[in-house]
Structure 1
Amino acid sequence: MAKIIFYEDRDFQGRSYAVTADQPDMHAHLNRCNSIRVESGCWMIYERPHYIGHQYFLKKGEYTNDQQWMGFNDSVKSCCIITPKDTSL
């Protein structure tokens, strides 16, 4: 199961929101996002709800501030799991 945790402050501080499925609108859960921990899976995060705006691809790892995922600002409002295509066909 894929899992990503968003934190409002840098260095995994402040209010957090854990996600295990696609989230089209996270504005009710976070005011801002300044650090992210991807515990499993690969994710695409978006700066606006409903998968709009700048998008960033994140793989498993720790992102202590928005500059580590090349973010333009501290806004993350939607995300989805990225699943690899089956190349054996």
Structure 2
Amino acid sequence: GQQFILERGEYPRWDAWSGSNAYHIERLMSFRPVCSANHKESKITVFEKENFIGRQWEISDDYPSLQAMGWANNEVGSMKIQCGAWVCYQYPGYRGYQYVLEADHHGGDYKHWREWGSHAQTSQIQSIRRVQQ
């Protein structure tokens, strides 16, 4: 199913965690902790194609729009998480499907977009941010 990152705070209604009326989910079925890093140490490398091929870009900050910051495509083929946990979003402005990628899973290597999670439908990634501590 769909996944959501719940950071420190209060969530009085379902729309407080889903962020959109498009995801009308009134209950959460399972939880797991996500290990984040000190923001100064967080680092991810995105690659244009699967298996870490093609143009690459090292990121160590939050980007509400990858295209506005110079990434020429609206898709990402593969990623390497060197440190921390990241949330990658389908659309700019941290909207759409969320994919949680962690340095502690897959050895931090995500060779194909299908490894982002069982709900991954597309390689479209247009915004990325670090998981808050």
State TM-score, norm by structure 2. Answer: 0.60
Deviation at 1:34, TM superposition (A): 1.1
State the aligned residue count: 84
Whether 1:34 and 2:71 are equivalent positions in the alignment is no
Aligned position for 1:10:
50
3-state SS of 2:63 partner = coil
The aligned runs of 1:1-89 (5 Å cut-off) are 1-27=41-67, 28-31=70-73, 32-60=75-103, 61-70=108-117, 71-84=120-133
Superposition RMSD in Å? 1.0
Structure 2 residue runs without a partner (length 5+):
1-40
Contact kept? 1:15, 1:30, Cα under 8 Å: no
Structure 1 residue runs without a partner (length 5+):
85-89
- Taking the aligned partners of 1:38 and 1:66, their CA distance within structure 2 comes to 14
Runs of 4+ in 1 over 6 A off after TM superposition: none
- Taking the aligned partners of 1:26 and 1:46, their CA distance within structure 2 comes to 10
Contact kept? 1:8, 1:30, Cα under 8 Å: no
Higher share of residues assigned strand: 1
- Taking the aligned partners of 1:35 and 1:4, their CA distance within structure 2 comes to 11
Deviation at 1:30, TM superposition (A): 3.9
Instruction: Tell which has more relative contact order, 1 or 2 (C-alpha 8 A, sep 6+).
Output: 1
Over the matched positions of the two proteins, sequence identity in percent amounts to 27
